A and B are shown apart, each in its own frame.
Chain A
Amino acid sequence: MPEPILQIENVSKIYGARRTLFGRTAEVQALNNVSISVQKGESFGLVGESGSGKTTLTRSILHLETPTAGRILFEGQDLAHLSSAELRRLRARVQIVFQDPYASLNPRMSVRDIVTEPMLVHNDILNLNRGQRTDRAAELLSLVGLGPQHLSRFPHEFSGGQRQRICIARALASGPELLLLDEPTSALDVSVQAQVLNLLCDLQDRLGLTYFFISHDLAVVRYLCDRVALIYRGELVEEGETDEIFDAPKSDYAKMLIGAMPEVKVRGSAA
């Protein structure tokens, strides 16, 4: 049994009532007693519709949000008990790729600056000088299917798929073990999505990364992930091996969701 890299234990998050111009808003229970354990080297898929708490959970893992109850452990360390310096060191090992590659790259930074910035932030761990950082950036770019000739270009010169590759290169810059992928392909066309998914598979094989893949696209999750958890209104509804869940969903919610998934029917069983 491989050891878990990430353990989410009974996590709940309640956004408190706020006083606004029009009175008080109600409390929102964004997460309710969610427990998930992600093993080293696997692809774990988190599936849920909008408002289900996916983002709150992701933000909690990054410690951008403090859970109301429960613990989040990264390699056995409780995030809540870390000092800010320790937390910063930890963040080098947990990186995220966001949904919209058009919004998550600074238009005024060159690709070199974008990809080397995490190395600069985490330089106490990486210890690279300027030249080495550029070399590493070039290396990362070729890893994601771009090249050193792209270093001095700016984000607007790239297509959506290429931008997402830059985002992935940036996420890999600090040498992470766990990559949070927050709907990394939902802003892309299917042909480009296929390229990015293949890249993710390839990177995982080469670098031994662990993926925490957040999506509402069931087809993509089925393709990429080893295990899946379904979340609905802040509660974990079903969790298990991908094939099991898709072939024999147990909960009504999973059945409904899988039934609603539009599928391109192809004759026979073209593998």
Chain B
Amino acid sequence: MTYPLLDIRNLHLTMTSFDGAAHVLNGIDLTVNRGEIWGLVGESGCGKSLTGLSISRLVSTPPARYIDGEILFEGRDILSLPAKEVQSLRGKRIGMIFQDPTTNLNPSYRIGEQLVDVALAAASHDASILDCPPNASRRERRRAARRLAGDMLDRVGIPNAEARLDNYPHEFSGGMRQRVLIAMALIGRPDLLIADEPTTALDVSVQAQILKLLKGTVADHFIGVILITHNLGVVAETCSHVAVMYAGNIVESGPVAEVIERPAHPYTKALMASIPTKHSKRGSLNGLGGSVPNLISAPPGCRFAPRCSRAVEACTQTLPQPVQVGGTHHAACIRLNETEDLVDA
């Protein structure tokens, strides 16, 4: 039996605070296969970063508590693995890129040293990465790691990569630092890459390069990617699939083209209506009124109901389950069929 690369099943996470426990992930289901780029979108505080962090088990417990669910990475539940085994996955099988490239590199070490460290650590798990004989001396292994580091920098589009290995992080621009982080995440040849807002801090032209690089990596190495972002434009151009999150739930998921062209869930529709496009007339943008619910005393039914223009009494009773809209396109709304008849505002 072959397992999907990543299979998150009914994940529930609460965070303890002074005011009580906030139910921040409320039953997440997500399956990622190799070759897929999943966009995880939603507003701040909807749980997209926590989902990403949970996969590499970087959420500290306490204050967090997983009350239900599994995160299966090739069939093994990451949440119940011993810490040591998770350590052997992190950075090797599961790579991560974070939002801010300025704070994720150590300013007092050269770029090359930082990359070599990661390569050597990854090689302790899979020696073939370094491409040197098993009985190689430490010096040979280091030299091989450095060669690999240079290769990786070159592959992420840093000119004169070999010489750049001796530079310090401050000698790189923001976009280049983000590329270094991507190189670092890819050096251990991960099977799953989690990119948490990798381009949010960057200019659009640099963003376009980074996204292209990410797509190329998926095509070359046949890995799975979770791209966490709040920018639907980035998702539309980069991802193969998308999951829209709201207040700890995935409200809609499916292939990008379908979700973007035929959004089914009222939240997805509202989100798309609030993005200015070529055709939007001045003052005609449909913002979403209200704000994200307090997750400490979240409403029992659909968490979007208080802001939803189509909500009815039944919406506030039970949490809607995902309904198939077409193919693998699902949306969690009990009024899907009814809303089709309504004219969009």
Is A193 an interface residue, CB under 8 A from the partner?
yes
- Provide the bound-state CA to CA distance between A224 and B284, in Å: 11
- Provide the bound-state CA to CA distance between A160 and B283, in Å: 21
- Provide the bound-state CA to CA distance between A263 and B278, in Å: 9
Mark the stretch among A4-12, A109-117, A132-140, A194-202 that contacts chain B.
Answer: A194-202
Within 8 A of A (CB), among B244-301: 260-261, 270-289, 291
Is B163 an interface residue, CB under 8 A from the partner?
no
- Provide the bound-state CA to CA distance between A222 and B238, in Å: 23
A159 partner, pick from B274, B278, B285, B291, beta carbons under 8 A: B291
Is A244 an interface residue, CB under 8 A from the partner?
no
Is A17 an interface residue, CB under 8 A from the partner?
no
> Smallest CB-CB separation from A187: which chain B residue?
B44
A271 touches B281 (CB 8 A): yes
Bin the interface of chain A by size. 35 or more
Given contacts A267-B261, A269-B279, contact A50 B205 (CB under 8 A): no
Is A21 an interface residue, CB under 8 A from the partner?
no
Mark the stretch among B125-133, B151-159, B229-237 that contacts chain A.
Answer: B229-237
A219 touches B277 (CB 8 A): yes
- Provide the bound-state CA to CA distance between A107 and B283, in Å: 32
Q: Measured between C-beta atoms, what is the minimum distance from B236 to chain A in Å?
A: 5
- Count, A-B residue pairs, CB within 8 A: 115
Residues of B within 8 A of A216 (CB): 203-204
Given contacts A194-B286, A224-B282, contact A266 B230 (CB under 8 A): no
Q: Measured between C-beta atoms, what is the minimum distance from A245 to chain B in Å?
A: 13
Given contacts A190-B232, A195-B287, A266-B260, contact A223 B207 (CB under 8 A): no
- Provide the bound-state CA to CA distance between A63 and B197, in Å: 36
- Provide the bound-state CA to CA distance between A222 and B278, in Å: 7
A264 touches B43 (CB 8 A): no
Please report the total number of B residues contacting A with Cβ < 8 Å: 42
Residues of A within 8 A of B276 (CB): 194, 197, 219-220, 222-224
Is B208 an interface residue, CB under 8 A from the partner?
yes
Mark the stretch among A67-75, A89-97, A253-261 that contacts chain B.
Answer: A253-261
Q: Measured between C-beta atoms, what is the minimum distance from A11 to chain B in Å?
A: 23
A189 touches B236 (CB 8 A): no
Given contacts A190-B271, A197-B276, contact A262 B283 (CB under 8 A): no
Is A172 an interface residue, CB under 8 A from the partner?
no
Q: Measured between C-beta atoms, what is the minimum distance from A193 to chain B in Å?
A: 7
Q: Please, what's the 1-or-0 string for A216-240, where 1 marks a CB less than 8 Å from any CB in chain B?
A: 1011101110000000000000000
Residues of B within 8 A of A190 (CB): 43, 230-232, 271, 274-275
Is A85 an interface residue, CB under 8 A from the partner?
no
> Smallest CB-CB separation from B211: which chain A residue?
A262
- Provide the bound-state CA to CA distance between A190 and B277, in Å: 12
- Among B232, B260, B277: residue with most chain A CB under 10 A: B277
Interface contacts beyond A223-B280, A261-B204, A263-B236: sample of 6 additional A-B pairs, CB < 8 Å, sorted by A: A194-B285, A218-B204, A223-B282, A265-B236, A266-B277, A271-B279
List the interface of chain B (C-beta within 8 A of A): 43-44, 174, 203-208, 211, 230-238, 260-261, 270-289, 291
